[in-house]
Amino acid sequence: MNFEKVYEPQRFEPHWAQWWIDSRLYQVDVAKAVPGHIFSLVIPPPNVTGSLHIGHMLDHTVMDVAVRWHRMLGETTLWLPGMDHAGIATQMVVERELAKEGITRRQLGREEFERRVWQWKEEYGGRIQTQIRREGASVDWSRERFTMDHGLSRAVRETFVRLWEKGLIYRGEYMVNWCPRCQTAISDVETAHEAVEGFLWHIRYPLTGSHDALTVATTRPETMLGDTALAVHPEDERYRHLVGKTATLPILHREIPIITDPIVDPKFGTGVVKVTPAHDPNDFEIGKRHSLPFIKIIGEDARMTAAAGPYAGLDRFEARKRIVAALEQSGELIKTEPYTVNVSKCDRCKTVVEPLVSTQWFVRMKPLAERAMEAVRSGQIRFVPDDREPVFFQWMENIRDWCISRQLWWGHRIPAWHCASCRKITVARETPATCPHCHSTELQQDPDVLDTWFSSGLWPFSTLGWPDKTPDFETFYPTSLLITGFDILFFWVSRMIMLGLECTGCVPFRQVHMHGLVRDAERQKMSKTKGNVVDPLELIDRFGTDACRVALLVSASPGTDIALKEDRIEASRGFTNKLWNASRLLFLNLGRSGIRNWAPSGGALTTDSRATEDVWIFQRLNVAADTVNHALERHRYHEAAQTLWDFVWHEFCDWYLEVKKLRFREGSGLDPHWRAALTAYEATLRLLHPFMPFITEELWQRLIHGNATNEQQPRSISFARYPAASATALKTTHEIQIFELMKEVVEAARKLRADHKLDPKATLAATLYLHSATFAPEDLAAVAALSKLTVEQRSGAMGEQSGLLRSTPEFDLQIHAAASAQNGAVTGEARARILKEIANLERAIENSDRQLSDPVFLSRAPEKVVANLRAKREEYRIQLDKNRKLLEGLE
RNA sequence: GGGCGCGUAGCUCAGUUGGUUAGAGCGCCUGCUUCACACGCAGGAGGUCACAGGUUCGAGUCCUGUCGCGCCCACCA
């Protein structure tokens, strides 16, 4: 069998990825699903915009661990893949492509443009599929979906019509966030607030028919051209006499009324606010309350409109400069003070958003949010960990209506038709031929498309066939779990909960697990502009998928972001290589074993072998399995991965195999040893499989289907049973204590050798005084081999205290050889070390004594704690004693 | 302004009902190419757990305050 010294992931990973797909391994047969044993989740559909980044890989890896675990628990497990059409984002990249050819989308026309975007989707969608495959994600490709698929588009229309009919969708003229760059309205969550150093300009508004004036502070002087009132607080005594009078708008010399509105904060600035109903959300409300004129002075292109008089045609920021200059000149600018302004920027292109009054479609959120909050409060949906819940509730409680129409071409067209003759709107599931109100045929579909998140919000059920009651929908909905980054809690998670409850009457998932972001080694957010984006495929090529997965998983503790460092991946590659070489040891020796008819147990993690190391490793295996299963249940993936790392490396390899190796060399009576070793090894592979699917598949196939007759075994390790611990196997027995004692003796010997700079190669004579236990001959032989000693075992207390000593409450180890390289320097070093240890021990004993003589401690502390402390104290005392003697010996 | 979180070894971080010399990976030092692995093995140095109080027999862990840092939400012009 070909078994290289170094594991080369590139040789195996693509092969198994392909095999998993070709053999349709993860394609679920819905007919075989057993109620109560079903696990389903949907992938958060990546944008077709480009390629996956490392954050997706973390997301997908965590999901894959969960999915493979459930699958190995024997549940019917569906992981549904797919992609999102990502309206605005995709339209932008395609437009950018067109720009390279020197064309705009308008030149192309709507239909042709849409064709180009579909082309793009074909190309990049394929790339994303490849990436998901290489991540090892065990998705069901036969159920792959795209948000613009026919079925999903049907779900979108169905939802829209239902919400409209229930009055939960409305159309109207309101203030929205307008991105002048993207040329569309965007929702509140698509804007990002940013503190910018700006100014607060104090402007004088002369009172009509008086020499007096009111001073108004503003951060946006250009909007004054659209002012239609000044407002003060109703109880502000300073201005009470002016209410009802008018002031003159500088520059345009328009007369505007002075009104009162409770929203004005008398303590801010001068307590007088200029009111620009068409360009400020607050002013919009004031304007409505007082029926003020709405003068639109900034247009969709962020340039001043004709209403801006002399400034018409100027960019809004240029207009600001000129207006400030003009006011300064006319003496109407009283004061300019530096001020930090919160500006809203478009999430997508970072352009400063312009609040504009515009006719858009909205979803009434309050009633939806109520049900969503109730679902979380009542535990129908659980956040794990739950520390994100307050954020969810805070947002839900303050929710505002959702602007869902976008002035884009790429997306789901709003299913509403405008009648040119009667002016009425028809919202319908199917394109109407005539206007149902006046039977006119002059119907035109609304030009807008829906916010991308509208269709994503239906994802958990639209992908399963809803609104039809398909077998998939009936079987897999509600899904069991949602795993995603917390950065899309508002965009996606909340909306799925709301729309799921509204459309299906049921929560879309039972649990939500949110992980952190992957940041670069310097904890910077990854972004294309910073150029610190890590391409998962590149890492996979260099280190292998399994290594990358493990690196991500061990770093992914809940609630914190991951700072991805390459040395972490290198360490994980070391781990895969370690596993590979442990396997190599077993496989290369297997030929000599003469073992026949070995088959994996599959069931309980037990062995018939009474060999000390076998009993020990099976207990450790059970403990590991127990910890891992519990950790996975609670979505503590890092803990699970870390546990396996430690088990495989520091227990299975460092101790178990090291001892087993000695047994193998003995050559005879090996059968039980081999059976135990293979059983433990095979169970270890199964434990590891959800985390490292590729290498475990490769090794398992070699072990199971390589030579033995194992036809009744599953085709793939991913359908083998996930190991479960049994309670009895977790207990500590005599053999286990013996093995722990063996470890301690070996470690003591190694330490002595290093401390005294003994020849690392020499086999030295030693006497081991075991105070209560006794080693069987084969165990003593193992201890001797691992510590390179010829050990004579005696029971009871040590006699003559000479040579090099190491003592514990259980044993004294005495190496007879004088330190071969011992010289003054070494003695000094050893002395210093011993002195330090003595000091530490004295302190520890002092602490223990204080505690143990405290009656309150003795009465309140649990018995176990007290007993532990007593034992520890005894151990310190013995060590201290031996150290003092050792020191004397040196002098 | 509100909410959430963080501050533990040189670096990145674990540490879930409070329990007794505080852990890992990387880096560092010493030794070892031992017939699974130098992507390795053995040994080691390194921490007043941000600071100050409090609760407790006992605090990295719970409470209060201070300082420093981060994120999210928010219509204060």
Q: Which residues in window 830-849 of A are less than 7 A from strand B by Cβ?
A: 833, 840-841, 844, 847-848
Q: How confident is the model at residue A821 (pLDDT cuts 50, 70, 90)?
A: very low
- Cβ atoms of A269 and A334 within 8 Å: the answer is no
Q: A573 or A516: which carries more pLDDT confidence?
A: A573
Question: In this model, does residue A524 exceed pLDDT 80?
Answer: no
The closest of A84, A137, A161 to A491, measured between CA atoms, is: A84
- Cβ atoms of A138 and A717 within 8 Å: the answer is no
Q: Is the CB of A756 under 7 A from strand B?
A: no
Predicted pLDDT at A213: 85
CA A516 to C1' B58, whole Å? 35
Checking each nucleotide's C1' against the CA of A191, the nearest proves to be: B73
**What is the mean pLDDT of the segment spanning A564-576?**
90
**What is the mean pLDDT of the segment spanning A713-717?**
88
Q: Is the CB of A747 under 7 A from strand B?
A: yes
Q: Tens digits of per-residue pLDDT, A594-622?
A: 666 677 776 778 888 889 999 999 999 99
Rounded distance, CA A458 to CA A677, Å? 50
Q: How confident is the model at residue A52 (pLDDT cuts 50, 70, 90)?
A: confident
CA A606 to C1' B73, whole Å? 54
The kind and range of the H/E element at A441 are: none
* pTM for the full predicted model: 0.92
Q: Is the CB of A401 under 7 A from strand B?
A: no
The closest of A26, A364, A353, A305 to A164, measured between CA atoms, is: A364
Predicted pLDDT at A157: 96
User: Residue A619 to residues A612, A615, A651, A729, A730: CA-CA distances in angstroms?
Assistant: 11, 6, 11, 6, 6
Predicted pLDDT at A844: 78
Q: Is the CB of A193 under 7 A from strand B?
A: yes
Q: What is the 3-state secondary structure (H, E, C) of A254-271?
A: CEEEEEECCCCCCCCCCC
What is the overall mean pLDDT for chain A?
88
Interface confidence (ipTM) of the complex: 0.94
CA A86 to C1' B10, whole Å? 45
Q: Which residues in window 415-444 of A are less than 7 A from strand B by Cβ?
A: none
Q: Which residues in window 613-642 of A are less than 7 A from strand B by Cβ?
A: 631, 634, 636, 638-639, 642
Predicted pLDDT at A890: 61
Rounded distance, CA A671 to CA A205, Å? 100
**Is residue A447 reached through a cis peptide bond, with omega within 30 degrees of 0 on the bond before it?**
no
Checking each nucleotide's C1' against the CA of A521, the nearest proves to be: B12
Q: Is the CB of A261 under 7 A from strand B?
A: no
CA A447 to C1' B76, whole Å? 37
- Identify residue A78 by its one-letter amino acid code: L
Most confident segment among A466-480, A655-669, A877-891 = A466-480
Mention every residue, 6+ apart, whose C-beta is less than 8 A from residue A128.
Answer: A46, A48, A51, A52, A83
Residue A796's region, left for phi above 0, alpha for psi from -120 to 50, else beta, is: left
Q: How confident is the model at residue A210 (pLDDT cuts 50, 70, 90)?
A: confident
Chain B bases having any atom below 7 Å from a protein CB: 2-6, 12-16, 19-21, 24-27, 30-33, 36-45, 57-58, 72-77
Predicted pLDDT at A812: 87
DSSP assignment of A506-558, as one string?
A: S-SEEEEEEE--EE-TTSPBP-TTTT-PPPHHHHHHHH-HHHHHHHHHHH--T
Pairing relationship of beta strands A402-403 and A354-363 according to DSSP bridges: antiparallel
**What is the mean pLDDT of the segment spanning A123-144?**
93
Question: In this model, does residue A166 exceed pLDDT 50?
Answer: yes
The closest of A403, A394, A399 to A369, measured between CA atoms, is: A399
CA A22 to C1' B43, whole Å? 50
What percent of chain A stands above pLDDT 90?
A: 51
CA A641 to C1' B70, whole Å? 27
CA A669 to C1' B77, whole Å? 89
CA A272 to C1' B71, whole Å? 35
Q: Tens digits of per-residue pLDDT, A784-808?
A: 999 999 999 988 777 666 777 787 7
Q: Is the CB of A869 under 7 A from strand B?
A: yes
> How large is the C-alpha radius of gyration of chain A?
37
Q: Tens digits of per-residue pLDDT, A365-407?
A: 999 999 999 999 888 998 888 888 888 888 898 888 999 999 9
CA A873 to C1' B57, whole Å? 18
Q: Is the CB of A661 under 7 A from strand B?
A: yes
CA A851 to C1' B58, whole Å? 9
Rounded distance, CA A17 to CA A12, Å? 9
Question: In this model, does residue A284 exceed pLDDT 60?
Answer: yes
Q: Is the CB of A135 under 7 A from strand B?
A: no
Owner of token pair 């991951």: A562
Q: Which residues in window 516-545 of A are less than 7 A from strand B by Cβ?
A: 523
Q: Which residues in window 325-384 of A are less than 7 A from strand B by Cβ?
A: 341-342
User: Residue A641 to residues A187, A550, A555, A694: CA-CA distances in angstroms?
Assistant: 40, 7, 9, 16
Beta bridge partners of A185: A178
Rounded distance, CA A850 to CA A460, Å? 61
Rounded distance, CA A86 to CA A92, Å? 10
Q: Of A401-415, A658-672, A719-733, which range is least confident?
A: A658-672
Q: A821 or A736: which carries more pLDDT confidence?
A: A736
CA A222 to C1' B1, whole Å? 27
Predicted pLDDT at A240: 87
Q: A439 or A818: which carries more pLDDT confidence?
A: A439
Predicted pLDDT at A782: 93
Rounded distance, CA A351 to CA A345, Å? 5
Q: Is the CB of A788 under 7 A from strand B?
A: no
Q: Is the CB of A863 under 7 A from strand B?
A: no
Rounded distance, CA A506 to CA A500, Å? 6
Question: In this model, does residue A274 exceed pLDDT 60?
Answer: yes
- Cβ atoms of A227 and A307 within 8 Å: the answer is no
The closest of A454, A446, A475 to A404, measured between CA atoms, is: A454
Residue whose CA is minimally distant from B15 C1': A639
CA A789 to C1' B33, whole Å? 22
Q: Which two tokens stand for residue A796?
A: 């009871």
Cα–Cα–Cα angle for A177, A180, A183, rounded to 5 degrees: 90
The kind and range of the H/E element at A485 are: strand A479-485
Largest CA distance in chain A: 116
CB burial of residue A665 (10 Å; 0-12, 13-18, 19+) = exposed
Using DSSP's 3-state secondary structure scheme, residue A85 falls into: coil
Residue whose CA is minimally distant from B43 C1': A754
Q: Which two tokens stand for residue A27?
A: 């394609």
The kind and range of the H/E element at A449 are: strand A449-450
Q: Is the CB of A657 under 7 A from strand B?
A: yes
CB burial of residue A781 (10 Å; 0-12, 13-18, 19+) = middle
Checking each nucleotide's C1' against the CA of A220, the nearest proves to be: B77
Checking each nucleotide's C1' against the CA of A861, the nearest proves to be: B57
Predicted pLDDT at A822: 46
CA A93 to C1' B20, whole Å? 61
Predicted pLDDT at A826: 54
Q: Tens digits of per-residue pLDDT, A497-517?
A: 999 999 999 999 999 998 887
Predicted pLDDT at A795: 85
Checking each nucleotide's C1' against the CA of A274, the nearest proves to be: B77
Q: Is the CB of A10 under 7 A from strand B?
A: no
Q: A817 or A1: which carries more pLDDT confidence?
A: A817
CA A265 to C1' B74, whole Å? 16
Q: Which two tokens stand for residue A216?
A: 């108004």
Checking each nucleotide's C1' against the CA of A567, the nearest proves to be: B26
Using DSSP's 3-state secondary structure scheme, residue A645 falls into: helix
Question: In this model, does residue A348 exceed pLDDT 90?
Answer: no
Question: In this model, does residue A492 exceed pLDDT 90?
Answer: yes
Question: In this model, does residue A276 exceed pLDDT 90?
Answer: yes
Checking each nucleotide's C1' against the CA of A875, the nearest proves to be: B21
The closest of A489, A638, A468, A634 to A549, measured between CA atoms, is: A638
Beta bridge partners of A174: A358
> What beta strand segments (E) does A347-441 contain?
354-363, 382-383, 402-403, 405-406, 416-419, 425-427
Q: Which residues in window 666-725 of A are less than 7 A from strand B by Cβ?
A: none
Using DSSP's 3-state secondary structure scheme, residue A613 falls into: helix
Checking each nucleotide's C1' against the CA of A399, the nearest proves to be: B73
Rounded distance, CA A427 to CA A471, Å? 30
CA A295 to C1' B43, whole Å? 81
Q: Of A335-344, A543-552, A713-722, A816-825, which range is least confident?
A: A816-825
Checking each nucleotide's C1' against the CA of A388, the nearest proves to be: B4
CA A387 to C1' B71, whole Å? 14
Q: How confident is the model at residue A823 (pLDDT cuts 50, 70, 90)?
A: very low
Q: Is the CB of A658 under 7 A from strand B?
A: yes
The kind and range of the H/E element at A788 are: none
Q: How confident is the model at residue A708 (pLDDT cuts 50, 70, 90)?
A: low
Q: Which two tokens stand for residue A352?
A: 């400063």
Q: Which two tokens stand for residue A376?
A: 């979380």
Q: Which two tokens stand for residue A232?
A: 């003060």
Predicted pLDDT at A72: 96
Residue whose CA is minimally distant from B75 C1': A282
Q: Is the CB of A560 under 7 A from strand B?
A: yes
Q: Tens digits of per-residue pLDDT, A664-683?
A: 887 666 677 888 999 999 99
Residue whose CA is minimally distant from B76 C1': A265
Q: Which residues in window 805-824 of A are less than 7 A from strand B by Cβ?
A: none
Checking each nucleotide's C1' against the CA of A658, the nearest proves to be: B36
Predicted pLDDT at A594: 66
